[in-house]
């Protein structure tokens, strides 16, 4: 435990080689520690070693006690081999944002197995089902609340990148079905005149997330943005109790009572000009829809955002605003405000 904690601390200090060395020492002592395997995986992915990181990740499926977030299926797990005349179940295995992030690979898998007469069933979180039910190539999309399923093999959605040649240049562009026109019209009616830049805000994620204390920001810290000449719209469903007074006292438009699932959130996002968000499912949703998305990141971010740069190979329309070594969001939000004022001026000059 002491060595693990030391390795984690070194990782937070961005001393990655030292962290990996210690993790591997512990792994040699306890070779069947699958939680430790995830620590090594996360460290490799964060430093951009995606191929080795994802390969390490697959070790967890050898654990006799599978991770609690993955269903206990009694059929074989699919490891990318050719299959003929089979039904493959692809299951969302982590959070909402992870599912949206990896969903780009599902049509590729569906096309690959269809060439040999097989088909894909997609099993997703209930709240994502309306959004993803029209994903191309999928024979059936079902919510995880579904009952008995008939299939031959299953695969966690986060394993899919391993089955294709990988580099930052071969990442498939995100694909999400376009929001339904009736939903778009409903949201345009709710939002009213589009005479100012519309900016969606999501300042915090699930408080139960292990890293939420690093990624989320109190709403009051956004006050430096809210006096700019834009229309701000909340994308934060069920805000934390500490943020509710600040939300009620602000001019932020809060229509989140209508956000009954991710299809509704996607329709709202599609009606906005810009989304400013911390690293939560809204970031993946907005960027996967191709909307301009500014993502505010802690000093040690999730692996998807790597460690440097303001662009993401996963999402062409995303812009990354990172904490520096001070681990302070105040300086991040000052940079955001400077960029936001430029966007407002552009909208005022061109109407777009």
29-33, 140-144, 217-221: range with highest mean pLDDT: 217-221
Identify the band that residue 35 occupies on the pLDDT scale cut at 50, 70 and 90: confident
Q: Where are the alpha helices (DSSP H) in the chain?
A: 2-12, 16-29, 34-46, 50-57, 96-102, 106-114, 129-132, 181-191, 212-215, 223-226, 244-249, 262-270, 281-288, 329-350
> CA–CA separation, 295 vs 273, rounded Å?
15
The DSSP 8-state label assigned to residue 253 in this structure reads B
Domain 66-177 in this protein, CATH class: alpha beta
| High-pLDDT (> 90) share of the chain, % | 72
Q: What pLDDT, on the 0 to 100 scale, is given for residue 301?
A: 94
**Would you say the C-alpha torsion 210, 302, 16, 58 has a positive or negative sign?**
positive
* Domain locations in the chain as residue ranges: 2-62, 66-177, 181-350
Q: Same CATH fold, 181-350 and 66-177?
A: yes
* pLDDT for residue 62 is more than 80: no
Q: Average pLDDT over the chain, rounded to whole?
A: 91
Q: What pLDDT, on the 0 to 100 scale, is given for residue 334?
A: 96
pLDDT (tens digit, 9 = 90+) per residue, 187-213? 999 999 999 999 999 999 888 887 888
> CA–CA separation, 54 vs 67, rounded Å?
16
pLDDT (tens digit, 9 = 90+) per residue, 290-331? 999 999 999 999 999 999 999 999 999 999 999 999 899 999
> Is-contact 53 44, C-beta < 8 A?
yes
* pLDDT for residue 68 is more than 80: no
> Can you name the CATH fold of 181-350?
Rossmann fold (3.40.50)
Of 273 and 34, more confident: 273
Identify the band that residue 36 occupies on the pLDDT scale cut at 50, 70 and 90: confident
The DSSP 8-state label assigned to residue 199 in this structure reads E
pTM, to two decimals: 0.93
Domain 2-62 in this protein, CATH class: mainly alpha
Q: How far is CA 36 from CA 2, 41, 156, 225, in A?
A: 13, 9, 20, 41
> Is-contact 59 162, C-beta < 8 A?
no
């Amino acid at each position: 435990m002491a060595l693990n904690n030391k390795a984690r601390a070194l990782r937070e200090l961005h001393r990655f080689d030292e962290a990996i060395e210690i993790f591997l020492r512990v792994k040699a002592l306890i070779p069947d520690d699958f939680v430790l395997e995830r620590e090594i995986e996360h460290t490799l992915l964060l430093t951009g070693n995606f191929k080795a990181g994802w390969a390490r990740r697959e070790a967890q499926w050898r654990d006799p006690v599978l991770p609690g977030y993955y269903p206990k299926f009694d059929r074989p797990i699919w490891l990318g081999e050719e299959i003929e005349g089979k039904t493959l179940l692809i299951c969302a295995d982590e959070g909402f944002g992870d599912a949206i992030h990896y969903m780009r690979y599902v049509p590729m898998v569906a096309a690959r197995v269809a060439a040999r007469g097989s088909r894909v069933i997609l099993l997703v979180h209930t709240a994502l089902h309306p959004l993803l039910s029209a994903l191309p190539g999928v024979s059936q999309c079902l919510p995880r609340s579904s009952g008995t399923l008939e299939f031959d093999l299953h695969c966690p959605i986060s394993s899919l990148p391993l089955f294709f040649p990988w580099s930052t240049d071969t990442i498939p562009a995100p694909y999400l079905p376009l929001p339904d026109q009736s939903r778009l019209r409903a949201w345009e009616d709710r939002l009213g005149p589009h005479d100012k830049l519309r900016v969606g805000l999501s300042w915090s994620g699930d408080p139960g997330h292990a890293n939420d204390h690093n990624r989320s920001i109190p709403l009051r810290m956004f006050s430096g943005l809210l006096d700019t000449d834009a229309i701000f719209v909340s994308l934060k469903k069920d805000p934390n109790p500490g943020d509710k007074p600040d939300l009620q006292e602000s001019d932020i438009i809060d229509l989140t009572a209508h956000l009954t699932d991710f299809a509704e959130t996607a329709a709202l996002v599609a009606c906005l000009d810009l989304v400013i968000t911390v690293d939560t499912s809204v970031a993946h949703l907005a960027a996967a829809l191709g909307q301009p998305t500014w993502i505010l990141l802690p000093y040690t971010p999730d692996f998807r955002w790597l460690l440097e740069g303001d662009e993401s190979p996963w999402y062409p329309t995303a812009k990354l605003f990172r904490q520096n070594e001070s681990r302070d969001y105040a300086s991040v939000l000052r940079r955001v405000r400077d960029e936001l004022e430029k966007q407002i001026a552009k909208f005022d000059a061109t109407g777009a």
